[in-house]
Amino acid sequence: MFTSNPFAELSASISPAVMQTYVVIMILLVVGGTVFDILHKKSATYFFANWRKAQSKGSKQVGSGEIVSLAVQTAIVEVATSGEFCNARRRLAHLLTMYGFIVYVVATVAMVFCYQTTAETPAIWPTLWTLGALAVCGGGYWFWFFIRVDVAAEGNSPFRIIRADVFILSLLASTTLGLIWAFLQATGAGGSTAFLWLYVLATTFLFGSVPWSKFSHMFFKPAAALQKRVENANGSRSNLPPPVDKPETLGSATTLPRHY
C-alpha cells in the first residue's frame, strides 16, 4: 500500500484518460465554486472596499515595499505556520490537516497523470499519498472529536452536525475511504470496488460542495490576514479595542478561554 500506486492498478479496469478527466473536473469545480462564492457573497467587493477605507483612514502611507514585506510575513505566519491559532493543539491539528491535504492532492495528481503502471511509479509517490491521507485523518479526527469549540468548551455531542461542518466531514470521508480502498486493492481483499465508488462519491461531494462549504475560506483567509497587517501598519486599526486573544486584556484572567 505504501509503495504501490493504487491508480496504476486501477488502470487495468478504468482507462487512465478517464481518471485524468475526473481530476481535471474536480479542479474546475474548485475554481468555479470559489468564483461563484466570491460573486455570490461579494467577498472581493467587500475586501477591496475595506482596503480602500483602511487606506483612507490610516495615519500614514504604507509603501509597496512594506506591503511586500507584510505579504511575506502573512505567508510565513498565517499561512505556513497557522499563527492565528493561539491554542497549540488546534494549530497542530490544522497543520496536519492542511499539509496532509496538500501532499495528498499533489501525490494524486502525480500518480494519475505521470505514471500509468505500478512498475513505472517511484515508491515515494504512493508513500506520500498514504502519509498525506493519514495526516488529514489524524488532524481532522483529532479536531472533530476533541478540539471543536462546541465539543471541547460547550459539551455538545461530537456527532452534532451543522452546515459549517460540510468541508471537514467530506474531506475526512474522502481520505478515509481512499485509504480503505487502496488497502483492500493492495491486499486483494473483497469489497475494493464498493469502496472505490464510495471514495469517488465522497471526493466529488468534497470538491463539488465548494460554494456551500468552508473550502474556499482557505483562499480568503490569507487576504484577510494581509489586510489586518496593513491596517496595523498604517494605523487605521489604532482606534479599535485591543484583541481579546491576549491575557492582559481579559481583566484579572491569566489564561485564555478554552476555545482559543
What does the pLDDT look like over 21-71, one tens digit per residue?
999 999 999 999 888 877 877 666 666 676 677 667 767 777 788 888 888
| 253 located within any domain | no
pLDDT for residue 242 is more than 60: no
CATH number at residue 197: 1.20.950
Question: 109 lies in a domain?
Answer: yes
Structurally, how many domains does the chain consist of? 1
Q: What is the dihedral of CA 98, 102, 103, 108, to 10 degrees?
A: 140
Mean pLDDT of 202-207: 96
Reported as a pLDDT band with limits 50, 70 and 90, residue 258 is very low
Dmax over Cα atoms in the chain, in whole Å? 68
Question: Is 27 part of any domain?
Answer: yes
* Residue from 179, 180, 177, 168 nearest 200 by CA: 177
pLDDT of residue 214 exceeding 90, the answer is no
Does residue 240 sit within a domain? no
The C-alpha cell that represents 254 in the structure block: 491569566
pLDDT-derived band at 252 (thresholds 50, 70, 90) equals very low
- Section 121-130 average pLDDT: 95
Total residue count of the chain as it appears in this document: 260
Whole domain around residue 14: which residue ranges?
6-232
Q: Which of 3-7, 19-23, 81-85, 114-118 has the highest mean pLDDT?
A: 19-23
pLDDT value of position 131: 97
pLDDT tens-digit map of 136-160: 999 999 999 888 866 656 667 777 7
Evaluate whether residue 259 is within a structural domain. no
Residue 156 counted as domain residue: yes
pLDDT attached to residue 34 = 85
Q: Using the 8-state DSSP alphabet, how is residue 163 labeled?
A: G
Helices (H) and strands (E) in the chain, counts: 10, 0
Please tell me the predicted confidence (pLDDT) of residue 248: 43
The identity of residue 42, as a single letter, is K
pTM of the predicted model as reported, rounded to 2 decimal places: 0.79
Instruction: Render pLDDT for 70-104 as a digit per residue (tens, 0 to 9).
Output: 888 888 888 888 877 778 898 999 999 999 999 99
Residue 257 lies in a domain: no
Is residue 246 in a domain? no
